[in-house]
Amino acid sequence: MHIDPQERDEVLLWRSSSGDEGAFTELYRRHQGPLFRFALRMTGNAWAAEEIVQDVFMTLVRNPKKYEAERGTVGAFLYGVARNRIMKHLERAPRDLQLPEHGYDSYGALPQTIDLKTPAHSAELTERRERVRAAVMELPAEFREAVVLCLLEEMSYEDAARMLDCPIGTIRSRLYRGRALLLAKLEILREVPKRAIASR
């Protein structure tokens, strides 16, 4: 059965629940990447992120009627399910944070195949990314969500509010506090090498 790339998610979900595998594949293609990046940035663990995304889509297969159109978009529903799975993961293993695996960089994307930077510049960039990743992972979960969605995923306040099922004002407040905490953590990390050099 032909799938129109412009087909709305709600229509694809309805077709998928009626046994249309192509419709499900298209839904998966549209949402898997952003959901994986969100889960990876929240958990710091590529294996856990893959498990969470798989669980989200299995929920969609098993019980598509859980989605209620009047409450928001299919994308918002999928983020909501992912968020619940992420919070359960963080409750079970709050300190089980690992570096991303399987060749993904700290931002959840495959590394560039060609790097024209000098080795020293590349090493410095990698170190900065790791510091930012570590600082983000240390944020409380509610602030981390706002930072990941609005700063890293570049999602609008309105979309983030829909994804997290909370008022826009809450997103703004969490992002403000999350950004302030993040900057403070990065400042501390930047000062540590300076103090080490000064003490020599």
Return the closest-CA partner of residue 90 out of 27, 131, 144, 162.
144
State the CATH class of domain 115-200: mainly alpha
**Token reading at 168:** 């826009």
Spans of all domains in the chain: 1-100, 115-200
Per-residue tens of pLDDT for the chain, all 200 residues: 556 666 788 988 888 888 888 889 999 999 999 999 999 999 988 999 999 999 999 988 888 888 888 888 888 899 999 999 999 998 887 554 444 444 444 444 444 444 445 676 677 777 777 887 888 888 899 999 999 999 888 888 998 898 888 899 999 999 999 988 888 887 776 665 554 445 55
Tell the burial category of 31 from Cβ atoms under 10 Å away from its Cβ (0-12, 13-18, 19+): buried
Which CATH architecture group holds 1-100? Orthogonal Bundle (1.10)
Indicate whether this model's pTM tops 0.75. Answer: no
Return the closest-CA partner of residue 137 out of 31, 34, 57, 48.
48
**Token reading at 3:** 């799938």
Tell the burial category of 185 from Cβ atoms under 10 Å away from its Cβ (0-12, 13-18, 19+): middle
